[in-house]
Amino acid sequence: MSSVIAPETIGLPRKPFVAPTKRKKWLLIQPKSNTPLMVDSGKVSMPLNLMMVATMANTHFDIDFLDERIGDTVPQDLSEYDIVAITSRTLNASRTYAIADRALAQGKKVILGGVHPTMLPEEASQHATTVIFGEIESIYDELTQDIYENTLKPVYRPEPNAGWKPLNEMPRTDFRFARSSKHARNYSERLPLLATKGCPVGCNFCCTPRIYGKTFRIRESDQMIDEIKAHQNFAGKRDVRFSFMDDNICFKPAYANELFNAMVDLGVHWNANISMNFLEKREFVELAAAAGCEMFNVGFESVDPETIKYVHKGSNRVSHYEDVVANVHKQGIAIQGYFIFGFDTDTNRSFQHTFDFIMKNRIEFPVFTIATPFPGTPWFEEVKPRLTHFDWDKYDTFHYMYEPAKMEREQFLKNFIKVQRAVYSWPGIMKRMAGRKFDWVWLVNLAMHNFTQRLTVDMLM
Ligand code: B12
Ligand code: SF4
């Protein structure tokens, strides 16, 4: 489990702080979530965020890395560690806190980071020595010095004037941390990559603008190509599959053009999150296809213009949806389309409209979620008085949160199940996937068929 990698091997910049020769030891943990629904099931992707933390921290600390989602176990006895550091989203916050409390009880220093501690630092502080706001790279030097000098502060956050660290200055992620687990075969073969960070669109339900504001940072395309080639060398083949972890890969179209142009002859395949307004340009989608794009992850969110307005999603124009889909499909690129139900503007008819849109436009991989107000977002504050629970295990976007203004609970949940069963019924799959050769997108549909046919109202409560 232990993976001590010399900093020189990963080409880090000069260190401003020289740690004592006896290095302290971190246990870095990716906790599983307690939700019974399918968020952590099947093959999960390697946690890029935690690998980035490990890569950074390994310059001054020894690191043990474990991922509960793939079957690694957190030891009961933590005596060999100085620091227990855990990443957390809302859906695994309660599991995070349980591990953190155990570590604190054993006298360990506990560092919590990730989206949930960033959005709720006061809550997280009750289970931690230190909470990190946003990414570790931007506060790493100060944090390291304070750990060795035993002067840890309760919260680390970059000075507003200092800003976030340029992505180009961040070390290249070392994947040996995740690969060193004896359960590493449970990771998806699709490797995570990061080209850009941030998304200034400003949807009111999204955490990204609350953390990174209006910033949008890019990594130079040369760095990206080097990293992709290093993965190809490691795999011993050209056709490596990647998932971009970017919030919105195309926010600067000139950069996306440069990157995709540089990727054209690499022979890799990938998918990425993207705002649909960028998919309106035929040449851009053609270039993405030539660069190996096999799927775009698109947040349609709703087919109702009123709902799009309600969530402040200025990048979506419902009247353009069909053209965008046609443009993407023309290049042989599949669409993972996200659809959210349960906003106050939604009605029971929203389900039928969404079903009709998906079937007519043959969206290959529709994902349906229940509108979930994540703490720290403006929308959370708006609906807070109506929320039926603050059970973080159920903040997985598949659980009932509050009664939408125009729908009663029972009917809403029944419709939420019905639309999924219909889209993933055998006839629904055959119609949407007609003409597509058998590939991994078919396999996803078969898995979704099994999942959706098992769904019951009780599971969503
Ligand atoms: C890519 C992505 C995914 C990928 C994740 C792949 C993976 N291996 O992690 C996929 C598609 C699988 C996914 C799934 C889901 N996602 Co998602 N996802 C993202 C996205 C767009 C980027 C995350 C990312 O990897 N960024 C790049 C990394 C390098 O940056 P980072 O995560 O910020 O990590 C840095 C810091 O946070 C910090 N840090 C992180 N951990 C720690 C720990 C310590 C100790 C320290 C010191 C620092 C530290 O340092 C890191 C390195 O710089 C975010 C949006 C966002 N900006 O966070 C949403 C986001 C995280 N997802 C979200 C949601 C809701 C989901 C799903 C529930 C959706 C669904 N219905 O299926 C599932 C949950 C899956 C799960 N079990 O966690 C929400 C979470 C909200 C919340 N409060 O929890 C986000 C914030 C989007 C939103 N709506 O606001 N997601
Ligand atoms: S477009 Fe996507 S990433 Fe950007 S603010 Fe909206 S939901 Fe978040």
Q: Are residues 111 and 234 in the same domain?
A: no
Rounded CA gap, 100 and 205, in Å? 28
Both 205 and 346 in a single domain?
A: yes
Give the tokens for residue 15.
């260190």
- Ligand 1: residues with CB < 6 A are 33, 39-40, 45, 47-50, 52-53, 85-87, 89-91, 111, 113-116, 119, 132, 134-137, 192, 194, 206-208, 245, 247, 273, 369, 374, 396-397
CATH code of the domain covering residue 197: 3.20.20.70
Average pLDDT over residues 393-417: 96
Cα–Cα distance for residue pair 248/163, rounded to 1 Å: 20
> Which residue range(s) make up the domain with 456?
189-460
The pLDDT-based confidence of 399 (bands split at 50, 70, 90) is very high
At residue 27, φ and ψ (nearest 5 deg) are -110, 120
Look up the CATH number of the domain holding residue 62. Answer: 3.40.50.280
Give the C-alpha separation, 72 to 175, whole Å.
17
Q: What is the pLDDT of residues 196-237, one digit of tens each?
A: 999 988 889 899 999 998 899 999 999 999 999 999 999 999
Choose one of 52, 219, 245, 249 to mutate for the ligand 1 pocket test, by most ligand atoms within 8 angstroms of C-beta.
245
pLDDT at 13 over 60: no
List CB contacts of 158: < 8 A, sequence separation 6 or more. 133, 134, 138, 139, 164, 165
- CA 81 to ligand 2 center in whole angstroms: 38
57 domain-assigned: yes
Q: Is 208 in the pocket of ligand 2 (CB under 6 A)?
A: yes
User: Looking at ligand 2, which atom is closest to the CA of residue 208?
Assistant: 8
User: What pLDDT score was predicted for residue 177?
Assistant: 96
382 shares a domain with 341? yes
Does residue 151 lie in a domain region?
yes
Same domain, 228 and 94: no
What is the pLDDT, as a whole number, of residue 14?
A: 43
CA of 29 to the centre of ligand 1 (A): 15
At 167, phi and psi to the nearest 5? -60, -30
Give CA–CA dist 270/123, Å, rounded: 37
Any domain includes 168? no
Stretch (H or E) spanning 242 = strand 241-244
- 71 with 121, same domain: the answer is yes
Q: Are residues 284 and 425 in the same domain?
A: yes
What are the two backbone dihedrals, phi and then psi, of residue 66, each rounded to the nearest 5 degrees?
A: -145, 150
Residue nearest to atom 8 of ligand 2 (CA): 206
Is the distance from the beta carbon of residue 299 to the nearest atom of ligand 2 less than 6 Å? yes
Residues 143 and 276 occupy one common structural domain:
no
396-412 burial: b if 16+ Cβ within 10 Å, else e: bbbbbbbebeebeeeeb
> Which residue has the CA at smallest separation from atom 1 of ligand 2?
201
Could you tell me if residue 331 is inside a domain? yes
Report residue 8's pLDDT band, with 50, 70 and 90 as the boundaries.
very low
Question: What contacts 114, CB < 8 A, 6 or more positions away?
Answer: 49, 86, 87, 88, 89
Distance 40 CA to ligand 1 centre (A): 13
Same domain, yes or no: 217 and 100? no
Q: Which protein residue has the closest C-alpha to ligand 2 atom 3?
A: 247
Band of residue 423 on the pLDDT scale cut at 50, 70, 90: very high
Cβ of 301 closer than 6 Å to ligand 2, yes or no, is no
Q: How many domains does the chain have?
A: 2
Does 169 reside within a domain? no
pLDDT at residue 4 is higher than 50: no
Buried/exposed 341-369: b ≥16 CB within 10 Å, e otherwise: bbbbbbbeebbeebbebbbebbbbbbbbb
Ligand 1 pocket test, pick from 32, 66, 135 with the greatest ligand atom count within 8 Å of Cβ, gives 135
The mean of the pLDDT values for the chain is 93
Give the number of the atom of ligand 2 that is nearest the alpha carbon of residue 275. 1
Shared domain check, 137 and 194: no
Boundary-marking domain end, from 131, 156, 181: 156
Q: What confidence score (pLDDT) does residue 3 get? A: 37
- Quick one: which ligand is closest to 115's CA? 1
Q: Tell which atom from ligand 1 comes closest to the C-alpha of 374.
A: 83
- Between CA 215 and CA 454 the distance in angstroms is 42
Average pLDDT over residues 345-360: 97
Task: Measure the CA–CA gap between 35 and 394, rounded to whole angstroms.
Answer: 6
The enclosing H or E element of 193 equals strand 191-193
Together in a domain, 289 and 381: yes
Q: Is 298 in the pocket of ligand 2 (CB under 6 A)?
A: no
Domain annotation covers residue 76: yes
Measured at the alpha carbon of residue 363, what is the angle toward residues 196 and 216, in degrees to the nearest 5? 15
Q: Select from 110, 136, 156 the last residue of a domain.
A: 156
Q: Is the sign of the CA dihedral 384, 387, 393, 398 positive or negative?
A: negative
In the reported structure, the alpha carbon of residue 96 is separated from the centroid of ligand 2 by a whole-number distance in angstroms of 26
**Confidence (pLDDT) at 29:** 98
- CB of 248 within 6 A of ligand 2: the answer is yes
In-domain check, residue 397: yes
Q: Do residues 268 and 415 share a domain?
A: yes
Sequence-ordered list of residues with C-beta below 8 angstroms from that of 323, at least 6 positions apart, any chain = 280
Sign of CA dihedral 262, 265, 266, 268: positive
Residue-wise pLDDT for 161-179, tens only, equals: 778 999 999 999 999 999 9
Q: Over 70: is that where the pLDDT of 421 sits?
A: yes
The pLDDT, as a whole number, for residue 343 is: 95
What distance in Å separates the CA atoms of residue 188 and residue 205, rounded to the nearest whole number?
28
Atom of ligand 1 nearest to the CA of 377: 90
pLDDT for the residue 38: 65
Q: Whose CA is nearest to atom 1 of ligand 1?
A: 245
Question: Could you tell me if 113 and 260 lie in one domain?
Answer: no
Q: Is there a domain that residue 11 lies in?
A: yes
